[in-house]
Amino acid sequence: MKIAFTTSEAYPFAKTGGLADVSNALPVALARRGHDVRIIMPRYYMVDRERYGLRVIGGPLGVPLGGGEKWAAVLESRHIPEVPVYFIEHDLYFGRDGLYDDGHSAYADNAERFIFFCRGALQALKDTGFVPDIIHCNDWQTGLIPVYHKTLYKEDRFFGGSATVMTVHNAGYQGVFPAEHYHLTQLDPGLFTDDGLAFFNQMNFLKGGLLYADAVTTVSRKYAAELGTPEFGYDLADVFQKVKDRFHGITNGVDYSKWNPESDPFIPARYSREKIDGKRACREALQQRMGIEIDPTAPLAGSISRVTYQKGMDVLADALRPLLADENLQFVLLGQGEEWILDRFRELKRLFPGRVGIFRGYDEGLSHLMEAGLDLYLMPSRYEPCGLNQMYSMRYGTIPIVRATGGLDDTVLEWDDKSLRGNGFKFAELTEKALYEKIRYAIRCFYTTRSWKKLQKNAMEFRYSWSDTAVEYEKMYEAVYAAAATRDEHGVPEKSRSRPDRAKGRRKPKP
Ligand code: ADP
Ligand code: GLC
C-alpha cells in the first residue's frame, strides 16, 4: 500500500519524546513489509541540510491559509534508506529552536503553524504526485488532516480512494486554541459546533481528527479502554466513546536495531543476556558521568523523562526521600520539564550528596547509557499511552518499576519469585506509600542475586518488536482502505472516485 505518514517529529531529525521514535520505526517496519511509505513533517531549524542531505523537490508549494496563500518548499531526505522523508519548509513557522515551545512557553502561533502544516501536508502530496492509500496522522498537530480530507478535498479525485487514520499518542495534548484562529483553516464555519470542531467555544484539533478519520488508533490496548473514561479521555471521553466502533489499540514496539546492548554505539561495553558482565562497566560509567559515588553494591535506580505531571515525577521525588534515607539506594535523572518538580529532585541531591545525580536537558547518548547502566528504571506515570523506556529497559536487563496504567500495564508482567516469571514490578495507586513499598520490595529482590539474575534474563528475553506491530497496522489499513472504497456518506459517489494515474505520479491542479 502507499502510506503517507504525517507527524510533527521523527527520529533522528527532531525528537521531544516517543512520538519521534514511533515515527521512524513504524514507517521503516512497514516499508520492510513491502509498503511504499513517505514521512511528511515540518522542517525545523535543527534539521540540518548537509547532515540529512536535504534537497528541494518540485517548485514552490502554495498552501491556502486564512484569506490567502503562504508559500513553502518541499525538501526530501533519503537519510532513512527505506523511507523518503518530505519536509515542509517555511522559515517563519518552523525555523526556530524549539518544536512547540521556546523552552518555557508554547509558541503563541502554534494554531497557525499546525493549520499550515496540515494543509501543507495534503498540498505536498499532490505536488509530489504521491497518491496515498492511507494518510496516517499522529497526534493533534496533524488532527486537521482528516477534517480537510473529508471536507475541502472531498471532491478532489487525487485523494478519492484514500482513507485516513488518526493515532492518539497522548490525549493530554489536544491542540485547543481560541476560536479566532478558526478562519485560518478555511473550513466551513458550520463545522464549528459542539458536534464538530468546537470544544467549549474553542477549536480542538484532536477532536477534529477523531471525528473525521476513517479509523482511530492509540498506542496500547489498555489506554484504548482508558480513553473512554473522563479520568484519561478528559473532556473527549464521550468522543472516544462515539468512535469506539472504529477505534483500535495497537501497542508500540521497540526498534531493536537502535536499542540493543549487544550493538549500542553509545555505551562503553557491550553485553548480552548470556554474557551480562559488560553491564557493570556501563553502570560505573553512568555513576561517573552523573557525578555520584562509584558504588558497585548500591542498587542504582533512575528515570529518563519529560519531567511533567503526566509522568508522576512529583510523587516519585516525594517517595525517594524516605527511600534514600532508609536504603543504600542511588538515583539518577535525565530529563527536562517543569521546574517545580525538578526543584524537588535538586533538594534530594542536596540532602543525599554523592547518591543523587541530575542531568537537566536532553541527551540521546546519555539516555542509552542510562538504560544500560541502571539496575531499576522508575516510571510511575499518572497515565501512559504506551511508554517506550520500560521496554528499552528490559532489553538492557534494567528492571522497570511502573504504575499499572496504559501501555505500562500491557507490557510489564509482575515478577513472581515463586514461579520465577515476570519482567518487572507494577503498582496500582499513584501514592508515595505505594511507590515506596514497591521500590523497597524491588530492592529486596535485587539483593537476592539468583532470582534477580533470572528476572533480568526474563526481561532481556521479552520482545516487543515493530515487525509484529506493523502487521497489526497493516491489517487495520487494509480494512479501512476497503471500507473507504465503498463509503458514500461523505458525498463521493463510488463511480466518480476513479483513481488518478498513480504510476506516472503526475502533478494535479490544486483544489
Ligand atoms: P513520552 O513520549 O511520553 O515522552 P515515551 O516513553 O514514549 O514517553 O518516550 C520517551 C522517549 O524520549 C524515549 O526515547 C526516551 O529515551 C526519550 N527521552 C525523554 N527524555 C529524554 C531526555 N531528557 N534525553 C534524551 N532522551 C529523552
Ligand atoms: C506519547 C506517550 C507515550 C508513547 C509515545 C509514543 O508521547 O506519552 O506513552 O509511548 O507517545 O506512542
Residues with Cβ within 8 Å of 469's Cβ and at least 6 positions away in sequence, in order, are 26, 29, 250, 251, 252, 253
pLDDT per residue over 365-422, tens digit each? 999 999 999 999 999 999 999 999 999 999 999 999 999 999 999 999 999 999 999 9
Q: What is the DSSP letter of 105?
A: S
Q: How would residue 318 be classed by pLDDT, with cut points 50, 70 and 90? A: very high
Whole-number Å distance, alpha carbon 133 to ligand 1 midpoint, is: 31
What is residue 486's predicted lDDT score, i.e. its pLDDT? 78
- 318, 445: one domain: yes
Looking from the CA of residue 361, the nearest atom of ligand 1 is: 23
Q: What is the pLDDT of residue 495?
A: 36
Q: Residue 490 above 90 pLDDT?
A: no
Q: How many domains does the chain have?
A: 2
pLDDT at 487 (0 to 100): 64
Asked whether 18 lines ligand 1 (CB < 6 A), one says: yes
φ, ψ for residue 148, nearest 5 deg: -60, -45
Give the Å distance between the CA of 163 and the centre of ligand 2.
24
CB 364 near ligand 1, within 6 Å = yes
Evaluate whether residue 455 is within a structural domain: yes
Identify the pLDDT of residue 109.
98
Q: Are residues 473 and 453 in the same domain?
A: no
Test site for ligand 1: of 289, 362, 394, most ligand atoms within 8 A of the Cβ: 362
Helix (H/G/I), strand (E/B), else coil: 331: strand
Three cell numbers written together for 396 = 538492557
Q: Which of 148, 9, 126 has its CA nearest to residue 61?
A: 126
**Average pLDDT score over residue span 449-459:** 95
86 pLDDT more than 90: yes
Q: What local confidence, expressed as pLDDT, does residue 186 receive?
A: 98
pLDDT tens per residue across span 15-52: 999 999 999 999 999 999 999 999 999 999 999 999 99
At 139-196, the pLDDT tens digits run 999 999 999 999 999 999 999 999 999 999 999 999 999 999 999 999 999 999 999 9
User: In degrees, to the nearest 5, what angle opens at C-alpha 62 toward C-alphas 477 and 23?
Assistant: 35
pLDDT digits (tens, 9 = 90+) for 194-208: 999 999 999 999 999
pTM over 0.85: yes
Regarding the beta carbon of 98 and ligand 2, being less than 6 Å apart is answered no
Q: Which atom of ligand 1 is nearest to the CA of 252?
A: 7
Segment 55-80 shows an average pLDDT of: 97
Residues 449 and 389 reside in one and the same domain: yes
CATH number at residue 484: 3.40.50.2000
The answer as to whether 201 is a domain residue is yes
> How many whole angstroms from 257 Cα to the centroid of ligand 1?
17
For residues 215 and 431, what is the distance between their CA atoms, to the nearest angstrom? 36
Strands 68-77 and 55-65, sheet pairing = antiparallel
Residues 132, 100 within the same domain: yes
Whether 445 shows a pLDDT value over 50: the answer reads yes
Look at residues 276, 304, 278 and name the one whose alpha carbon lies nearest to residue 290.
Answer: 304
For residue 454, the number of C-alpha atoms closer than 13 Å in the C-beta half-sphere is 12
Residues 439 and 493 in one domain: no
Question: Per-residue pLDDT tens for 249-265?
Answer: 999 999 999 999 999 99
**Residue 193 and residue 93 share a domain:** yes
114's grid cell: 499546525
Predicted local confidence at residue 24, as pLDDT: 98
Q: What is the share, in percent, of the chain residues with pLDDT greater than 70?
A: 95
Gap from CA of 453 to ligand 2 centroid (Å):
30
Residues 476-491 have a mean pLDDT of 79
**Res 502: pLDDT:** 38
Q: First CA to last CA across the chain, in angstroms?
A: 24
Considering only CA atoms, which residue is closest to atom 1 of ligand 2?
169
Q: Rounded to the nearest 5°, which phi and psi values hold at 322?
A: -65, -30
Which is the closest atom of ligand 2 to the Cα of 219? 12
pLDDT at position 273: 96
Q: Looking at the structure, tell me whether residues 345 and 378 fall in a common domain.
A: yes
Tell me if the bond preceding 12 is cis, omega within 30° of 0: yes
Does residue 403 lie in a domain region? Answer: yes
> Looking at the domain assignment, is residue 330 inside a domain?
yes
Note whether 480 and 452 are same-domain residues. no
If one compares 438 and 502, the residue with the highest pLDDT of the two is 438
pLDDT, one tens digit per residue, over 330-367 is: 999 999 999 999 999 999 999 999 999 999 999 999 99
Calculate the alpha carbon distances from 508 to 58, 123, 275, 403, 481 in Å.
Answer: 13, 10, 58, 50, 22
Q: Are residues 122 and 101 in the same domain?
A: yes
In a domain, 260, yes or no: no
User: Do 500 and 448 fall into the same domain?
Assistant: no
With a 6 Å cutoff on the Cβ, whether 305 touches ligand 1 is yes
Average pLDDT, the chain: 94
Per-residue model confidence (pLDDT) at position 488: 52
Residue of 169, 304, 306 to test ligand 2 pocket, by largest number of atoms within 8 Å of CB: 169
Which ligand number lies closest to the CA of residue 306?
1
Same-domain status, 422 and 476: no
Closest residue (by CA) to atom 12 of ligand 2? 169
Give pLDDT, residue 104. Answer: 86
Kindly tell me if the per-residue pLDDT of 8 is higher than 90: yes
Task: Please indicate, yes or no, if residue 269 is contained in any of the structural domains.
Answer: no
Res 511 pLDDT > 90? no
Distance 382 CA to ligand 1 centre (A): 16
Flag whether 262 is in a domain. no
Out of 461, 476, 495, pick the residue that ends a domain: 461
Confidence of residue 79 (pLDDT cuts 50, 70, 90): very high
Q: Would 268 be classed as within a structural domain?
A: no
445 and 338, same structural domain? Answer: yes
Amino acid (1-letter code) at residue 213: A
All residues at 6 or more sequence positions from 155 whose CB lies less than 8 Å from its CB, including other chains = 491, 492, 511
CA of 169 to the centre of ligand 2 (A): 5
Domain containing 230: what range?
2-253+467-504
Ligand nearest to the CA of 11: 1
pLDDT of 152: 98
